[in-house]
Amino acid sequence: MDKKAIGFLDSGVGGLTVVKQAMKQLPNESIYYIGDNARCPYGPRPAHEVIAFTWELTQFLLKKDIKLLVIACNTATAVALEEIRQRVDIPVIGVILPGSRAAIKNTDNGRIGVIGTEGTIKSGVYEQTLKAKDPTIQIASLSCPDFVPLVENNQINSSIAKKIVYETLQPMTKLNLDTLILGCTHYPILRHQIQNVMGEQVILIDSGAEAVSEVSTLLDYYEIAAHYSHRQSREYCFYTTGAKEPFFNIAKEWLEVNDLNVQEVRL
């Protein structure tokens, strides 16, 4: 039993989709979250930069004394997970393996789509992970560089969002996919629009939600889950490298909580 917080990091607000699942599935746990909104999006950045930024966010959370770290960002998981794991001595969980596992479990026709940022798609990490488990799986990958800015600018329900999601995903609708991995933690915020374009027959895999099941397993495995008695004093703290106001507004709406503790930080 360990009442220390779980740390979550992301390039911006996308990791809040993972936090929402964690608040639901792990109600005894404290959560510290940092979003690097000042430098978002990570998708188009070179790998060495994403690794450097991810390490800065990790160090910030380590100073807060966390017991487990979730890299709640697909781009950062794709390029930095291995390196961060080697550098720290707490368990570190990414979002790509859990999403891949869930997709393979779900597919009936063996045709899986992956959408993500340019960085994630270019890394080929979902293809490698899926193919290592089953090379007969057919995979279609598509980068959607306009989705993260839509979410970060809180334009989710705008007509421009509908148009962009529709036009971007058109090529994916003709491939007879039965499973689509939302390979970016920002995308569940656009879930409704994505499902509309893809059709109800396509199951959307939320890589972040799957990652939280993995967190739950590892907390038990390492015997570091918080006790029920810690629930009373659990803490939710949110930090952003950007401006407090827009982060607060998106977080409040997405997490459906009014009194959020959000602080601006300089790394």
Among 134, 167, 245, 253, which residue interacts with a second copy (rule: CB under 8 A)? 134
Of 4, 134, 125, 146, which is closest to residue 74 (Cα–Cα)? 125
Q: Which stretch binds a second copy (CB under 8 A): 30-38, 90-98, 119-127, 152-160?
A: 90-98
What are the DSSP E strand ranges found in the chain?
6-10, 31-35, 68-71, 92-93, 111-116, 138-143, 179-182, 203-206, 236-240, 261-264
CA distances from 44 to 116, 117, 136, 143, 168 (A): 11, 7, 30, 10, 17
Candidates 65, 220, 245, 253: give the one binding a second copy (CB under 8 A). 220
**The one among 121, 144, 177, 225 contacting a second copy by CB under 8 A:** 225
Site membership for a second copy, residue 43 (CB under 8 A): no
User: Is residue 184 among the annotated active site residues?
Assistant: yes
d(CA 35, CA 258): 19
217 binds a second copy (CB under 8 A): yes
Can residue 59 be called a binding residue for a second copy (CB under 8 A)? no
Binding of residue 228 to a second copy (CB under 8 A) = yes
Chain centre distance of CA 103: 16
Q: Which helix (H) or strand (E) holds 13?
A: none
43 assigned binding-site residue: yes
* Residue 196 marked as a ligand binder: no
Residue choice 48, 157, 227, 263 for contact with a second copy (CB under 8 A): 227
Contact between 128 and a second copy per CB under 8 A = no
For residues 100-111, b (16+ Cβ closer than 10 Å) or e, as one string? bbbbbeebeeeb
Which of 101, 119, 150, 206 forms a contact with a second copy (CB under 8 A)?
101
Is residue 89 close enough to count as binding a second copy by CB under 8 A?
no
Whether 45 and 120 have beta carbons less than 8 Å apart is answered as: no
The Cα 95–Cα 208 span in angstroms is: 6
Question: Is 236 labeled as ligand-binding?
Answer: no
- Is 87 among the residues that bind a second copy (CB under 8 A)? no
| Interface residues toward a second copy, by CB under 8 A | 1, 25, 28, 91, 93, 97-98, 101, 105, 131-135, 213-214, 216-218, 220-221, 225, 227-228
Binding site for substrate, by residue number, is 10-11, 42-43, 74-75, 185-186
Positions marked active-site: 73, 184
